[in-house]
Amino acid sequence: MGFSHFAERVALLLLLVHLSLTNLDLPVSILWYGEFSPAQKSIVSDFLLSLNPQNEQNPSVSQWWSTIQIYMKKAGKKETQVVLSDQISDENCSIGKILKKPQISELAERVNSKPGGLTLVLTAKDVAVEGFCMSSCGFHGSDTKVVKSAFIWVGNSVTQCPGQCAWPFHQPIYGPQTAPLGAPNGDVGLDGMIVNIASLLAGAVTNPFGNGYFQGSADAPLEAASACPGVYGKGAYPGYAGELLVDSVSGASYNAHGVSGRKYLLPAVFDPSTSQCSTVV
């Protein structure tokens, strides 16, 4: 299905489905599974806090999030504010370091997610998850049994498959072998996780229960961000992330400013109002 058909599907589903997890606030909880340093945790928490408009420099993380807000507004929802909720650490990996997909949802259920909330299950670099590096860098799902909530899983790929799940901060495992870009927070694994968290966050919010915005098959949907793979700036093509900003001190590449002076690289998002992949630079 092409982008024009995708736009038609968006227009139809806007009339049929209530998509956002919540009208006003989106409580986001985090389960840290395995060992993450305080510095690594702050990279993720600062990203989530940056989704709400602040006084940061443009282009900003909140500008990127504003494209997702277009979906909300067209569905008759008010702007959504992200609220950082509970954070739980399971440093000892209580159910092991080799996980099946159903165990990810079990871990998500450990967090007392509020109705309409979202839980991030983030696994450390030495935790193997079914399908990780083979078919995905993360996924999102939902729990509708008790409370209507959604979850996202993303793994730290730095020692397992950085060429697949941390590009463009690492040499790709296939395709054009361009030089890797500098990671804006100095951590290839975590900066790669941010890219995947952002992509899955866009999908989880606009298609939380599998009946929202996507193109293609419902079994393998292309969602708001995954419909624009490998695009981070204008002029992107396979093997080239696009025109990006470069930090004058570190030489790292980024396209969005966040809170506390943070810089992030965020994926393009399909803009339903223009039927094109939208980047913040």
Sorting pLDDT into bands at 50, 70 and 90, what band is 4? very low
Q: Is the pTM of this model over 0.85?
A: yes
Beta bridge partners of 237: 240
Contacts of 278 (CB under 8 A, 6+ apart): 67, 268, 269, 270, 271
pLDDT, tens digit, 9 for 90 and up, residues 30-75: 999 999 999 999 999 999 999 999 887 899 999 999 988 887 777 6
Rounded distance, CA 262 to CA 30, Å? 20
Sorting pLDDT into bands at 50, 70 and 90, what band is 219? low
Rounded distance, CA 179 to CA 240, Å? 10
Q: What is the rounded average pLDDT for all residues in the chain?
A: 85
pLDDT, tens digit, 9 for 90 and up, residues 84-117: 999 999 999 999 999 999 999 999 988 866 777 8
What is the C-alpha end-to-end distance of the chain, expressed in Å?
27
